[in-house]
């Protein structure tokens, strides 16, 4: 065999010797198994071979054991050796004894070497995939930092410090995320898909768990177990509510999470692209929890319908828009956090109530779907609609300007005589 094949075998060993994340004993057994596979293909069995791997030196030794038989009695050249041949190795050999001689793998030819390289490469690749899958499966829910390598329409490809590929789908990116190639991206390991033994690591920046892990990193009291994060509701990049509880009366959980002058929460807000984060004190008292969840609005009273997981929330007229929030985000998040469907009602004074008219009484003049739309933003009476500035009403109700103007005209006509 030529010099080229010898070099390729040495290369094979130096390649696999440098492999990360594969321990020495595994490497030795994989290499031995690969040699045995090739030997078994060539001779029908590998049982009479001894394979010794020296990964430190990057070489190997193969010994073949054959039984000495009389000249002319050799039936299998792999398992038996003629007496005259055996005595060329050592003249003391007798029939029935076992001859062990060194085998030069190079002599088996180019095909054997190619088969060995392919077998080794395949087994090592499987081992690396298995190692990657195991490693990242244990990291699900943890934050990782990786370098952005490529941006596609539906996902971004990141590389960790070992060059492993991680994927951040568009659906798991904060809408206002903006990265360039080479940037370091922080995200939480969401899941590890392993179809056809081909692990794909999916990351997320929109998961509530990402927000939780950021708080755990920033707030030592959470790491120490003094404060527990009970619930998180999140609309990524917009707003989030997080309910925390302290096991020590001396520790104010909200104050600890926010930090002096907002120092602790500021870093988290910046990482989440200025996501507005409300931290509230958790309580098992449903009414109180709903009331706190609707912060910054001040709730007058709450009626909980437990079997429907619904709550009717009554507020002063000036608190209604605060409770609903810009684009309805506040009430949506409060519902997500508490697990209750929240219906907002304006609380009216008796004198005010007699003067006001419920929207349901205008069905002759206003389409029912328009009335339902107005009720969904917390307006159930004529005066509650008239109390909201026209432009704000258009924005909050998402109705056409002409429709809003017509509604205001009809409602205002009822009070013109006053």
CATH class name, domain 3-134: alpha beta
143 CB-near residues (< 8 Å, 6+ apart):
186, 187, 188, 210, 213, 214, 217
Rg, C-alpha atoms of the chain: 37
pLDDT tens, 215-231?
A: 999 999 998 889 999 99
Instruction: List, for residues 32-88, the tens digit of each pLDDT value.
Output: 888 888 888 888 888 988 888 876 666 788 888 999 888 888 888 889 888 888 888
Give the model's pLDDT for residue 43: 86
- The Cα 112–Cα 387 span in angstroms is 88
Report whether 34 contacts 119 (CB < 8 A). yes
110-137 vs 3-17: helix crossing angle, rounded to 10: 10
What does the pLDDT look like over 85-116, one tens digit per residue?
A: 888 888 888 888 898 888 887 777 788 888 88
Q: Which long-range contacts (CB under 8 A, 24 or more apart) does 293-297 make?
A: 293/241, 293/243, 293/333, 293/334, 293/337, 293/338, 294/323, 294/330, 294/331, 294/334, 294/342, 296/322, 297/322, 297/323, 297/330
Query: For 147-156, 330-339, 348-357, which range has the lowest pLDDT when averaged over its residues?
Result: 348-357
Query: Which residues are CB-contacts of 416 (< 8 A; sequence separation ≥ 6)?
Result: none
Helix (H) / strand (E) containing 120: helix 110-137
Residues 6+ apart with CB under 8 A from 7: none
Q: Where are the domains of the chain?
A: 3-134, 146-206, 207-282, 350-414
**243-275, pLDDT tens digit by residue?**
999 988 888 999 999 988 898 999 999 999 999
18 band by pLDDT with thresholds 50, 70 and 90: low
Distance of alpha carbon 391 from alpha carbon 2, whole angstroms: 86
Query: Among 57-66, 124-133, 186-195, 343-352, which is the least confidently predicted range?
Result: 343-352
The total of other beta-carbon atoms located within 10 Å of residue 279's CB is 20
Give CATH for domain 207-282. 3.30.300.20
Question: What is the tens place of the pLDDT at every residue in 391-418?
Answer: 888 888 889 999 999 999 988 888 775 5
What does CATH list as the number for 146-206?
Answer: 2.40.50.140
Tell me which fold the domain 350-414 belongs to.
DNA polymerase; domain 1 (1.10.150)
């Amino acid at each position: 065999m030529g010099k080229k094949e010898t070099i390729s075998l040495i290369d094979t060993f130096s390649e696999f010797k440098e492999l990360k994340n594969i321990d020495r004993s595994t490497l030795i057994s994989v290499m031995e198994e690969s040699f045995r596979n090739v030997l078994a293909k060539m001779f029908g069995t590998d049982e009479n071979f001894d394979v010794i791997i020296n990964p430190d030196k990057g070489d190997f030794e193969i010994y073949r054991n054959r039984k000495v038989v009389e000249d002319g009695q050799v039936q299998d050249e792999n398992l038996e050796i003629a007496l005259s041949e055996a005595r060329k190795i050592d003249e003391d050999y007798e029939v029935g004894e076992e001859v062990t001689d060194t085998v030069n793998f190079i002599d088996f030819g180019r095909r054997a070497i190619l088969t060995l390289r392919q077998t080794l490469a395949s087994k090592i690749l499987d081992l690396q995939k298995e190692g990657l899958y195991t490693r990242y499966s244990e990291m699900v829910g943890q934050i990782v930092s990786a370098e952005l390598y490529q941006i596609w329409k539906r996902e971004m490809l990141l590389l960790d410090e070992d060059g492993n590929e991680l994927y951040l789908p568009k659906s798991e990116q904060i809408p206002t995320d903006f990265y360039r190639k080479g940037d370091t991206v922080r995200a939480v390991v969401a899941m590890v898909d392993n179809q056809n033994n081909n692990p794909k690591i999916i990351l997320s920046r929109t998961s509530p768990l990402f927000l939780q892990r950021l708080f755990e990193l920033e707030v030592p009291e959470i790491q120490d177990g003094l404060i527990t994060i009970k619930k998180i509701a999140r609309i990524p990049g917009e707003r989030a509510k997080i309910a925390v509880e302290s096991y020590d009366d001396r520790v104010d959980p909200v104050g600890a999470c926010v930090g002096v002058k907002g120092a602790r929460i500021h870093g988290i807000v910046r990482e989440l692209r200025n996501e507005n984060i409300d931290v509230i004190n958790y309580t098992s008292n449903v009414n109180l929890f709903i009331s706190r969840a609707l912060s910054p609005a001040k709730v007058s009273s709450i009626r909980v319908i437990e079997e429907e997981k619904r709550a009717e929330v009554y507020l002063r007229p000036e608190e209604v828009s605060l409770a609903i929030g810009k684009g309805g985000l506040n009430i949506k998040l409060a519902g997500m956090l508490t697990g209750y469907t929240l219906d907002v009602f304006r609380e009216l004074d008796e004198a005010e109530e007699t003067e006001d008219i419920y929207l349901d009484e205008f069905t002759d003049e206003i389409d029912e779907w328009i009335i339902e739309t107005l009720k969904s933003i917390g307006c159930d009476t004529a005066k509650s609609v008239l109390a909201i500035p026209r432009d704000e009403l258009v924005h909050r109700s998402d109705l056409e300007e002409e429709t809003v103007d017509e509604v205001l005209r009809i409602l205002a006509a009822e009070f013109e005589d006053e």
